[in-house]
Structure 1
Amino acid sequence: MTKDPTLKAERPDLSREREGLALVRNTARGALRIAETLGVVGRQGAGWLLGDRDALPRRLRHTFESLGATYIKLGQFIASSPSLFPEEYVQEFQKCLDRTPPMPFHYIREMVESELGKPLAEAFEWVDPQPLASASIAQVHAARLRNGAEVVIKVQRPGVRNVLLTDFNFLYVSARVIESLAPGLSRSALSGVVEELQAGMIEECDFLQEARNLEAFNRFLAETGNTAVAAPRPIASHTTARVLTMERFHGVPLTDLEVLRAYTDDPAGTLVTALNTWFSSLMMCDFFHADLHAGNLMLLEDGRVGFIDFGMVGRIRRETWAGMMELFEAIGNGDVESMARAMAMVGMTRDEVDVQALARDIGALQERLTDVDASALVQADRNDREVNQLLTELVRIGEGHGIRFPREFALLLKQFLYFDRYVQALAPELDMFNDQRVDMFGTLDQLPGGDEPLH
């Protein structure tokens, strides 16, 4: 049977027409989103002008939460970045929670069926209509495959990627305007933060990339002989860019000490296993898990530690990690020259840094630095005011010498803050910097539960 040549000629036109319609729809949605953003900001500002004078950080947090996914993530970034933002904002945005009302189950069904190309009942034996979790980017449901395997399905919220792109484009333009109006502002600080956040969040919307992250982390565990830790295995046949199906874990969050005691008589040892695995991944895996909060680190029923949710990851050069450790140590010792060298190593700059000049500028802080223990950097909720002020001043001094700390700096610092909360809950006597069981450089001969040496 011969093909009608007129159909061939029509297809490119139809394709262009569909692309044009999609562009119009996306442009219209973008315009509506910007209008919505300006409306929320306007209402919050009007309320403040009319006498509802709560503190500005609190007002800003409420505004961010009203605007949804992008701004909630931005708020969480502020909360975890005492080196970049004023203390009162860091404290207020600790309350910025990534919880959103659940989507009705019919949206979940429609998205899964559209992505997998088959009815839900053909793809799964059972799916729980009640979500296990509902966040700004995705919703998670328990399910069972046709072969009986227990899984969870992570389903992306409709249109969230377009919302993120619109929001970040708007934020970037706004940041550049602010920077042009305030030339004394940190060098590209606002627009740089926006660009880095956009890259991270857009990557979170690619569930195929998250599946690859899971596979890579499981390979890292296997290659290092680490049988004490596990990550879910993705189900490739049931995974797309917007639907991720993976092995289901049963266990408890690592911070729930009372429940943990029913699983293990050595909570501190469990924490050390998690810490050493994470530190080892900095050097021996393609990435590190950048969001190990209380919901993403579990003690499983079989005694292993479960690392879950690999949507947010970071990548760090060996030199950057070594520089950060040198920076922590130098702060603890009050050694301004070592601190200057470490800042030059960690920071991003196109120009060669005059380390001696940088050291002289840091020297003005010497009295305060001498009295600050290095462990205070990861104990921000024990010593907030001093640590936040110290890090902010160090970043400001570095920027005066052309240094801008990379996104990984904030991600690593945030993770240290998470780890400190684990330490307080499970092993308050543990000192991450000095305990011989904790190996920050991943150079232990063998990780707990492993049989093969690390190389």
Structure 2
Amino acid sequence: MNTALESIDVNRESGPQRPVVEGLRQNPAQMIGDGIKGAFRIGQTAAVVGGQGVRWLRGDRPSTPHLVRDTFERLGATYVKLGQFIASSPTFFPREYVEEFQHCLDQTRPLPYSVMEGILREELGSAVDTEFTRIDRTPLASASIAQVHGARLKSGEEVVLKIQKPGVSTILLTDLNFLYVSARIVETLAPKLAWTSMSGVIQEIQRTMMEECDFVQEANNLEAFREFLDRTGNTEATVPAVYRDLSTRRVLTMERFQGVSLTDLDSIRRYSDDPERTLITAMNTWFASLTQCDFFHADVHAGNLMVLEDGRVGFIDFGIVGRIKPDTWTAVSDFMGALMSADFEKMADAMTRIGVTREGVDVSALARDLSGLQEHMDAVVPPDIEMMDMDVTELSGRTEDDVNDLLMDLVRIGENHGLHFPREFALLIKQFLYFDRYVHILAPEMDMFLDERLNMLQ
């Protein structure tokens, strides 16, 4: 049985990296095979782009953002993930593209179990027969990179198997290297674009996407977060246990949580007699991770926070994490406090400490422009009673729209004043706004920034 090849240090340098699959050892035959697959992928990409060009010449001419999204979805895994990166990165991309790529869904038609079983047997060998009494043929979920199947171990534990789809790593590496080289060429031919650092953006995408398809890294994230919980004495929150002997770079075997979404108020009451306290536990756990863990969970939407049957808060899906420096976190915290109290002068001051600029910023002028967002801020921050009857998917979608609209406006105003923001800024603000919405659902009388039970600066 092939177990996880090499543990990846979560404390490693987190700056931009070229796409390298660490720990894989390829023989010459494998390298030749990957080279052939890579050449085929380039040909496949050219065919898709060429087909789109033919449709355009024949008169099928949607808007450029829509055309790009449609092309990305036809190109598959890498470009779907790239589309999602664009949708969640208003600090990097134009508003019309961020809005269009909100529709880039990472829900794909499931592959037959026989295909996924082939990956399982390649990775786990005879353990597929000796360690499991049941593996569900119908997946719980299917996305561009992986499928998730329920299973049961011979020891009786219920688990989930996250299985990477075949050929994903080769496709990712080929596509990402192609994009990186293309970006470098564009920057060379158009030096004025150097300030936007297109190649730097591609490298960030490379790092993010390669980490997401490396299940050893996700296992490390889960265990590092569990260690953080243990070290801080936090017994009210948890993460799924990882079965290392049954996990590899392409297969992740985890404990299966039983519970409900954090926003399912009626169901939460079955497991918690104090939903407000449960929310505070979730928020304090996340706040503490910003300063006491090597990373923070960067996708706390309604589907990734659960209230378990024993009342604990379960954090799931650590494929996307962020890292932030302490001084940046302090500035973001100041910004969020000012945002919630509509103090535009303080918002402007905090933004100048978060963003990168080549010139001085007129803080008063920036504050005046920010004050124009008051109505938009009210759409995100105040309670919306109608949302109480929405299911998790509907709530998550509406929250995403409101949050991204506000983020794009904030970024646009900042850029008009010469400020450029790191992607972590958008990731952090988005998580804050998720939590603020959860406050209005579960604890509408609580003030997120004044409540003494919340420890935002731990």
What's the TM-score once normalised by structure 1's chain length? 0.81
1:389 maps onto 2:409 in alignment: yes
Matched residue type, 2:368: E
Matches of 1:264 and 1:167, distance apart in 2: 47
TM-superposed CA distance for 1:19, in Å, is 2.9
TM-superposed CA distance for 1:20, in Å, is 2.8
Whether the 8 Å contact between 1:260 and 1:299 is mirrored in structure 2 is yes
Whether the 8 Å contact between 1:127 and 1:144 is mirrored in structure 2 is yes
Residue aligning to 1:174: 182
Larger deviation: 228-237 or 313-322?
313-322
TM-superposed CA distance for 1:92, in Å, is 2.0
Residue aligning to 2:427: 411
Matches of 1:256 and 1:56, distance apart in 2: 39
Whether the 8 Å contact between 2:89 and 2:423 is mirrored in structure 1 is no
TM-superposed CA distance for 1:132, in Å, is 1.1
TM-superposed CA distance for 1:283, in Å, is 0.6
Identity over aligned pairs, percent: 53
Q: Identify the match of residue 361 of structure 2 among 356, 359, 362.
A: 359
Residue aligning to 2:39: 31
Q: Deviations over 1:160-189 (max 9, x none)?
A: 111111111111122223333443336143
What's the TM-score once normalised by structure 2's chain length? 0.80
Matched residue type, 2:412: T
Q: 1:27 to 1:410 in 2, by over 3 A?
A: farther
Matches of 1:260 and 1:81, distance apart in 2: 32
Matched residue type, 1:342: R
Residue aligning to 2:345: 334
Matches of 1:383 and 1:290, distance apart in 2: 14
Q: 1:385 to 1:106 in 2, by over 3 A?
A: closer
Whether the 8 Å contact between 1:81 and 1:413 is mirrored in structure 2 is no
Q: 1:82 to 1:394 in 2, by over 3 A?
A: same
TM-superposed CA distance for 1:314, in Å, is 1.8
Matches of 2:416 and 2:203, distance apart in 1: 20
Matches of 1:393 and 1:375, distance apart in 2: 13
Matches of 1:303 and 1:319, distance apart in 2: 34
Q: Identify the match of residue 128 of structure 2 among 120, 140, 154.
A: 120
Matches of 1:27 and 1:426, distance apart in 2: 53
Residue aligning to 2:218: 210
Gaps of 5+ in 2: 1-25, 382-399
Q: 1:216 to 1:318 in 2, by over 3 A?
A: same
Whether the 8 Å contact between 1:328 and 1:374 is mirrored in structure 2 is no
Q: 1:375 to 1:298 in 2, by over 3 A?
A: farther
Q: Secondary structure at the match of 1:359?
A: coil
Q: Secondary structure at the match of 2:191?
A: coil
For 1:47-446, list aligned pairs within 5 A: 47-185=55-193, 187-264=195-272, 266-328=274-336, 332-335=343-346, 338-339=349-350, 341-343=352-354, 347=356, 357-360=359-362, 363-372=364-373, 376=377, 381-382=401-402, 387-395=407-415, 397-398=417-418, 405-423=421-439, 425-427=441-443, 431-441=447-457, 443=458
Matched residue type, 2:360: L
Matched residue type, 1:412: L
Matches of 1:27 and 1:43, distance apart in 2: 24
Q: 1:314 to 1:307 in 2, by over 3 A?
A: same
Matched residue type, 2:126: K
Larger deviation: 176-185 or 189-198?
176-185
Matched residue type, 1:388: M
Matches of 2:445 and 2:54, distance apart in 1: 49
Larger deviation: 131-140 or 258-267?
258-267
Matches of 1:144 and 1:81, distance apart in 2: 38
Q: Deviations over 1:96-119 (max 9, x none)?
A: 211111121112222222212315
Q: Which has the larger radius of gyration?
A: 1
Whether the 8 Å contact between 1:81 and 1:414 is mirrored in structure 2 is no
TM-superposed CA distance for 1:247, in Å, is 0.9
Residue aligning to 1:446: none
Q: 1:307 to 1:384 in 2, by over 3 A?
A: closer
Q: 1:19 to 1:188 in 2, by over 3 A?
A: farther
Matches of 2:82 and 2:207, distance apart in 1: 12
Q: 1:376 to 1:239 in 2, by over 3 A?
A: same
TM-superposed CA distance for 1:278, in Å, is 0.7
Q: 1:258 to 1:57 in 2, by over 3 A?
A: farther
Matched residue type, 2:369: R
Q: Secondary structure at the match of 1:321?
A: helix
Matched residue type, 1:439: N
Matches of 1:192 and 1:107, distance apart in 2: 36
TM-superposed CA distance for 1:288, in Å, is 1.0
Gaps of 5+ in 1: 1-17, 348-352, 444-455
Larger deviation: 195-204 or 86-95?
86-95
Q: Secondary structure at the match of 2:307?
A: strand
Larger deviation: 185-194 or 362-371?
362-371
Q: Secondary structure at the match of 2:152?
A: strand
Q: Secondary structure at the match of 1:334?
A: helix
Q: 1:437 to 1:295 in 2, by over 3 A?
A: same
Q: 1:103 to 1:329 in 2, by over 3 A?
A: same
TM-superposed CA distance for 1:43, in Å, is 2.3
Matches of 2:336 and 2:30, distance apart in 1: 50
